[in-house]
Structure 1
C-alpha cells in the first residue's frame, strides 16, 4: 500500500516511516527540508520525498499527492521554541488535517482512506465519558490560554471527530494519544487503552517514540487492528513504564 506521512522528519514521524519501509510499503513524505533526513531514505526506491511546507501546497498539488494513497498519517507538531509555540502557523496540525482530508474527499476514492493523527493524552475524547479532576481541568484551561499548540491538538482531533465522524464513506480515522514521550532504540511491549488510565498532568506515563511509530504503522497495515480502533482515540503507554 502507499502511505503519505506528514511530519516525517520529526522524532516520532521518522520512526513511523522506518516501520512502514521495513514492512515494504510505499511511502511519500512531505518535508520542508531534506537536510535532517537519513541518507538511506534518499536512495530508497519505496520512498518519495516531496520538499514543501504542507500548508503552502495548492489544493491541486495536495489532491495529486494523496490521489494514490491508501492512508495518510500526521505526526506534525510545533517546535519547542518561542517561535514554534507562539508564532505562525498557530493551527498547523488542524489546518493540515483539514486540507489533507479535503484533498482525499475531492478525489472520492473507491475505498475509504485511513487517516491516523498523532495527538496527546492531554486532550480528552469527547465522544466518551473521560472524567478528569477539577485540578486537571484548571491546568488544561491554563494550557489552552498559554500554549497554542495544545489548542491546535484539540481542534485537530475535534475536526476528525465531528466533521469526518464515524460514518464517512471516504475517510476513516484514528487519533493516537501517547503519554510522555521518551527516546528508545527498540520497540518494547506497550499497551493500548480507549481512554487514559492515569492523569496526563499529575501521574503521566511514558511511551517511546518508536513504540508510537510502531502502533501507528500497525494501524495502517493491520486491518484487524484498524477495525478495533477506527473512529477512536486510543491511548498508548509503554508497558515497562
Structure 2
C-alpha cells in the first residue's frame, strides 16, 4: 500500500515514516528540504521524495501524489520561530488539509482514503460536549488572539468535521490530539480517549512523539482500530 506523508521532517513525522517503512508500506513524503531526513530514511528504496513546500504544489500535482494512496498523514506544524508563528503561511495546516482532501476527491477512489491529522489536545472536539473551565476558556481565547498556529489547528480539524463530515464516500478522517509532547527513543504503553481526561492548559499530561507516530501508523494499517476512531478526535497520553 502507498501512503503520502506531509510534515515528514518534523520530530513526529520522522518517527511516522520510519514506522511506515518498517511495516512495508511504500511512502511518499513532501518536504521542504530532503537533507532534514536521516540518510538511512532518504536511501530507503520504499521512500519517494518530493522536495517542495506542500502549498506550492499545484492542484494537479497534489492529485497525482494522492492517486492510489491508501492514506494521507499530516504531521504539519509551524516552526517555533517568530516567522514560523506569525509569518506566512498562517493557515498551513488548514490549507494543506483542504487541498489534499480535494485532491483525493478528484481521483474518485474506489474506497475512502484515510486522512490522519496530527492536531492538539488544546483544541476541543465541537462534535462532543467537552467541558472546560472558565479559566481555560479565557486562556484559549488569548491563544486564538496571540498565536495563529492554534487557530490553524482548530480550523484544520473543523474542516474535517464540518466539510468532510462523517459520511463522505471518498475521504475518511481522524484527528489525533496529543497532549504535551516529549521525546523518547522507543514506543511505550499509551492510552487513547475520545476526549481529554485532564486540562490541556492547567494539568497537561505527556505523550512521546514516537507513541503518537505509532498510533497514527496503527490507524492507517489496522482496520479494527480505524473503525473505532474514524470521524473522531482521540486524545493520546503516554502511561
Same fold (TM over 0.5): yes
The number of aligned residues is 239
Equivalent residue, structure 1, for 2:120: 120
Equivalent residue, structure 2, for 1:95: 95
Give the C-alpha shift of residue 42 in structure 1: 2.0
Equivalent residue, structure 1, for 2:164: 164
* In 1: Cα distance, 2:36 partner to 2:70 partner: 26
Equivalent residue, structure 1, for 2:211: 211
* In 2: Cα distance, 1:40 partner to 1:182 partner: 23
Runs of 4+ in 1 over 4 A off after TM superposition: none
* In 2: Cα distance, 1:131 partner to 1:6 partner: 32
Matches within 5 A, 1:22-171: 22-171=22-171
1:139-190 CA-to-partner distances (Å, cap 9, x unmatched) read: 0000000000000000000000000000000000000000000000000000
* In 1: Cα distance, 2:181 partner to 2:175 partner: 16
* In 1: Cα distance, 2:34 partner to 2:62 partner: 19
Question: In structure 2, the residue corresponding to 1:70 is in which secondary structure?
Answer: strand
- Which runs of 5 or more structure 1 residues have no equivalent in the other structure? none
Equivalent residue, structure 2, for 1:195: 195
Give the C-alpha shift of residue 45 in structure 1: 1.1
- Which runs of 5 or more structure 2 residues have no equivalent in the other structure? none
* In 2: Cα distance, 1:118 partner to 1:31 partner: 16
* Larger CA deviation: 220-229 vs 36-45: 36-45
Question: In structure 1, the residue corresponding to 2:34 is in which secondary structure?
Answer: coil
Give the C-alpha shift of residue 40 in structure 1: 1.1
